[in-house]
Amino acid sequence: MALEGTVDEAADALPVLVGASFTADTPEDTFLDVSDAGHGVAYVNGFCVGRYWDIGPQQTLYVPAPLLRAGRNEVLLLDLERRPTGLALAEAHRFGRAAHAHPTSEES
């Protein structure tokens, strides 16, 4: 399943609300990959599926099948830190730190 959406590149104001959608043939458990986003909250079909932050520990959010419907599904991200550069669906949970995340004092 691929996510489709648009982001208004002209607006630099934060926080930013980003919308996307994907089509599912049949509802099944999936994971929303938010590793290219900053810090915020994700909603799928009006249900909050969790908070995210690029420093981790999780880089995906679980989306249970009952929240999805056959056909078009809506995704909204309210990001407080930066404009997400990508949004995808994943088949499994991913943990760790996003590559673009700010280094901690131990790493710098």
Read off the amino acid at residue 14.
L
Task: Give the model's pLDDT for residue 78.
Answer: 95
Task: Give the model's pLDDT for residue 14.
Answer: 85
Whose tokens are 């056909």? That residue is: 71
Residues (pLDDT < 70) of the chain are: 1-12, 97-108
> Per-residue DSSP letters for 1-58?
---EEE--TT---SSEEEEEEEEESS---EEEE-TTS-EEEEEETTEEEEEEETT-SB
* Number of domain units in the chain: 1
CB burial readout 1-10, b (16+ within 10 A) else e: eebeeebeee
Instruction: Name the pTM for this structure.
Output: 0.76
Residue 100 falls inside a structural domain: no
Q: How far apart are CA 41 and CA 76, in angstroms?
A: 8
Residue 70 falls inside a structural domain: yes
Residue 104 falls inside a structural domain: no
Task: Give the model's pLDDT for residue 108.
Answer: 47
Task: Give the model's pLDDT for residue 44.
Answer: 97
Residue 108 falls inside a structural domain: no
Residue 95 falls inside a structural domain: no
